[in-house]
Amino acid sequence: MAPILRTEHLTHIYGKGTPFETAALNDIDYTVEKGELIGIIGHTGSGKSTFIQHLNGILKPTSGKVLLDGEDINASAESLKRARSRVGLVFQYPEYQLFEETVEKDISFGPGNMGLSEEEIKERVLEAADFVEIGESLLSKSPFELSGGQKRRAAIAGVIAMRPEVLVLDEPTAGLDPAGRKRLIGNILRYHEETGAAVIMISHSMDEIAESVRRVTALKNGSIVMDGTPREVFSQAEKLKKLGLSVPQVTKIAIYLREMGLPADTSVYTMSQAADAIASLKGGGSGA
Ligand SMILES: Nc1ncnc2c1ncn2[C@@H]1O[C@H](COP(=O)(O)OP(=O)(O)O)[C@@H](O)[C@H]1O
Ligand SMILES: [Mg+2]
């Protein structure tokens, strides 16, 4: 694999030199490979949002660098502009930033700033709307006429319409109902699969992370404290507990079964793995 994004000694201090000085990120070295699928976890205040807002230059490092294909994104106005379109950042509750008269205009805003022709913009808007299942009939509506889930998906389409090579999302499913969460995760995964873009998403839900990503990175007090495959990270239940986090529900059940004396495999973290594990338990069980 080839790296696309890299942070070197990335440090961020809010309100430096004031009585409210807060060290939010401490010396983070982190590499994202092309096409990776990453979940970022960590207790509230651990630095997740601060970290990802550096990846397209919305926040500037207090010290250290963010490199896109080896180039410092904060080196010049041009580098920053390139980074803004190649690394798409979706804020938490992005629907609060919908402001145009129509959904179509809102989704066009990002590509409209990229110097593309009207035709290309239109094509990208339709493609992005398709990724997030916003039907053409909704495009001419006001964003305010949409449901909560539709607004969220329309806002994400505005970022997808720039065809970012790295799509970064801050708690994209926060506040949605279970069906809405599942649908949105499906949309994000389809963008990842069909375009080969890297995806980095923050989530509070260990179940969501376990079911969707291939790499999990945990932050605590502005430092990376765990980084590995879901299996590597979720097999460390005690360590996660100390971070104020937990393991996915299915892992919890497996740990419980093990405590009950059953030979359960506690390294399971998805529903389908749990189903297989339970089936094999039945096969080897006492039949009582
Ligand atoms: N705009 C800000 N001004 C001052 N401190 C902030 C600001 N945003 C976040 N912080 C502080 O920086 C730390 C990391 O916050 P944040 O990146 O929002 O964490 P997370 O997203 O993991 O909850 C916390 O201590 C938080 O209080
Ligand atoms: Mg946050």
219 Cα nearest atom in ligand 1 = 22
Ligand 1 centroid to Cα of residue 45, in Å, is 5
- Tokens (6 digits) for 252: 């919890």
pLDDT score of 154 more than 60: yes
45 CB within 6 A, ligand 1: yes
- Tokens (6 digits) for 31: 């590499």
202 Cα nearest atom in ligand 1 = 21
50 Cα nearest atom in ligand 1 = 17
Q: pLDDT category, 284, cuts 50, 70, 90? A: low
For 37-80, the pLDDT digits (tens) are: 999 999 999 999 999 999 999 999 999 999 999 999 999 999 99
pTM over 0.85: yes
Average of per-residue pLDDT values in the chain: 94
22 CB within 6 A, ligand 1: yes
Give the percent of the chain with pLDDT over 90: 90
28 CB within 6 A, ligand 1: no
d(CA 100, CA 146): 13
Mean predicted confidence (pLDDT) in 9-22: 96
pLDDT score of 32 more than 50: yes
Per-residue pLDDT at 263: 86
For 98-114, the pLDDT digits (tens) are: 999 999 999 999 999 99
The length of the chain in residues reads: 288
Per-residue pLDDT at 144: 94
Mean predicted confidence (pLDDT) in 246-257: 92
Mutate to test the pocket of ligand 1, among 14, 200, 217, 225 (most ligand atoms within 8 A of CB): 14
Per-residue pLDDT at 286: 47
CB contact burial 71-107 (16+ within 10 A = b; e otherwise): ebbbeeeebbebbbbbbbbbbeebbeebeeeebbbbb
Helix (H) or strand (E) holding 247: none
- Strand-pair partners of 42: 219
Nearest CA to ligand 1 atom 1: 14
Ligand 2 centroid to Cα of residue 262, in Å, is 39
Ligand 2 centroid to Cα of residue 275, in Å, is 33
Nearest CA to ligand 1 atom 16: 47
